Amino acid sequence: MMQVLPIQSDAPTKESPCPGRLIVLTGPSGVGKGTLMQEMLKRHPELYYSVSVTTRSPRPGEINGENYYFISRSKFEQLVEQGEFLEWAEFAGNYYGTPREAVLNQVQSGKLVVLEIELEGARQIRASFPSALSIFILPPSLNELESRIRGRAQDSEEAIARRLYRAQAEIQAADEFDVQIVNDDLETALQGIEATLFG
C-alpha cells in the first residue's frame, strides 16, 4: 500500500530531512504555461511534472495519463470526498485537480515538482505549502492572449469567451505570487524560469 502523507506542512522531518520543493506555474489560460513547461522538461529532465486529473474532454492528440487523467464528474467528486487531491478547482465548466499522493511522494524523495495550474488551485497550494515557489506567467497583452487561445484552435467560442473573461481577473492577481514572468519571447521567458529555479 502507498504511504499517505500529510498535506498541512512541508517542513523537513526526520524521515525526510531534505525534501524537494513544489513549484507552481500559474497564469491565465493560453498564456503559454504548457509550452514553457514542455520546453523546461526537455532541458531539465530531472524536474517532475505532475499530471493533473480533469473532467474536460480530451483535445485532439491529448493522451490519457500523459496530458491529463480524463475522468467523469462523478468520479472526480468521489476523489474529492476521499481527499485524493492536493488542490482542485472548477475552471471554465470543468474540474481540475492535482493528485496528492504522487506529488507528495516525489517532493519527499527530493524532486522539484512542477504543478501547472490555474489561479484558485495556486492559491490553495500557497496556503498549504508556504515554501512552495510560485511563478505567475503574464501575457504581453490581452490581445495577444486572445490570439494565442484562438490560434490553438481547440476551444469552442463559448470556452474562449469564458477563458478570456476569467483571464482579466487572474492577471490582477499576479502580484500574489513570488515571481512574475512575461511570456512574450519564449526563449526570454524560459531563461527567466531557469534563473528562478536554478539561480
Ligand X SMILES: Nc1nc2c(ncn2[C@@H]2O[C@H](COP(=O)(O)O)[C@@H](O)[C@H]2O)c(=O)[nH]1
Ligand Y SMILES: Nc1ncnc2c1ncn2[C@@H]1O[C@H](COP(=O)(O)OP(=O)(O)OP(=O)(O)O)[C@@H](O)[C@H]1O
Residues that bind ligand Y (CB under 6 A): 29-35, 148, 151-152, 183, 186
Which partner in ligand Y, ligand X, none is near 152 (CB below 5 to 8 A by kind)?
A: ligand Y
Residue 15 or residue 66: which is nearer to ligand X going by CB?
Answer: 66
Q: Which of 19, 22, 37, 98 binds ligand X (CB under 6 A)?
A: 98
Q: What residues contact residue 161 under an 8 Å CB cut-off, 6+ apart?
A: none
Residue 12 or residue 75: which is nearer to ligand X going by CB?
Answer: 75
Angle, CA of 94, 98 and 99, to the nearest 5°: 120
The DSSP 8-state label assigned to residue 30 in this structure reads T
Provide, rounded to whole angstroms, the least separation between the CB of residue 3 and ligand X: 21
Provide, rounded to whole angstroms, the least separation between the CB of residue 138 and ligand Y: 11
Provide, rounded to whole angstroms, the least separation between the CB of residue 90 and ligand Y: 14
Question: Measured between alpha carbons, how far is 160 from 141 in angstroms, rounded to an integer?
Answer: 16
Given the rule CB under 6 A, which of 113-121, 139-147, 177-185, 186-194 is the region that contacts ligand X?
113-121
How many angstroms from the chain centroid is the CA of residue 115? 4
If one asks whether residue 193 binds ligand X (CB under 6 A), the answer comes out as no
Which partner in ligand X, ligand Y, none is near 183 (CB below 5 to 8 A by kind)?
A: ligand Y
Question: Measured between alpha carbons, how far is 150 from 155 in angstroms, rounded to an integer?
Answer: 8
Would you say 4 and 86 are in contact if contact means Cβ atoms under 8 Å apart? no
User: Going along 29-175, which residue ranges are E strands?
Assistant: 48-49, 52-54, 68-70, 85-91, 94-99, 112-116, 133-138
- Residue 190, number of CB atoms within 10 A of its CB: 17
Of all residues in this chain, which one has the CB nearest to ligand X in the complex?
A: 121
Which partner in ligand X, ligand Y, none is near 127 (CB below 5 to 8 A by kind)?
A: none
Nearest one of 83, 108, 3, 99 to 50, comparing CA atoms: 99
| Binding-residue pattern over the window 120 to 149 for ligand X, x denoting contact by CB under 6 A | xx----------------------------
- Residue 33, number of CB atoms within 10 A of its CB: 21
Residue 19 or residue 91: which is nearer to ligand X going by CB?
Answer: 91
* Interface with ligand X (CB under 6 A): 29, 33, 52, 56, 87, 89, 91, 96-98, 116-118, 120-121
